[in-house]
Amino acid sequence: MSITQQHLLDAYRARSLGEPAPPAPGTHDRQVVREWRDERRLRAVLAGRPARHRFRDALRRWRRRPT
C-alpha cells in the first residue's frame, strides 16, 4: 500500500468517525528536519564541540579557493 493510499484510507476512516482528517504526507517534513538539526547542534555544544554549519562552511571554502 502506498503512502497516498494509506492517507486516503485514514481520511475516509476519520470522516466516517467524525474525527478531523490527518495531515497529508510530507506536511511537517521541514519542521522535522529543522528540529533534528537543532538537536544535533545542541548535542554538539553540550559535548564541547563547536556547532558548525558543515555544508555552508564547505561551500564557503569551495568559493574561496584560488583557480
pLDDT digits (tens, 9 = 90+) for 4-43: 999 999 999 999 999 999 998 888 999 999 999 899 889 9
What pLDDT does residue 19 have? 96
How confident is residue 67, by pLDDT bands cut at 50, 70 and 90? low
The structure's pTM equals: 0.53
Alpha carbon 65 to chain centroid distance?
A: 31
How confident is residue 58, by pLDDT bands cut at 50, 70 and 90? confident
Determine the 3-state secondary structure of 38 from DSSP: helix
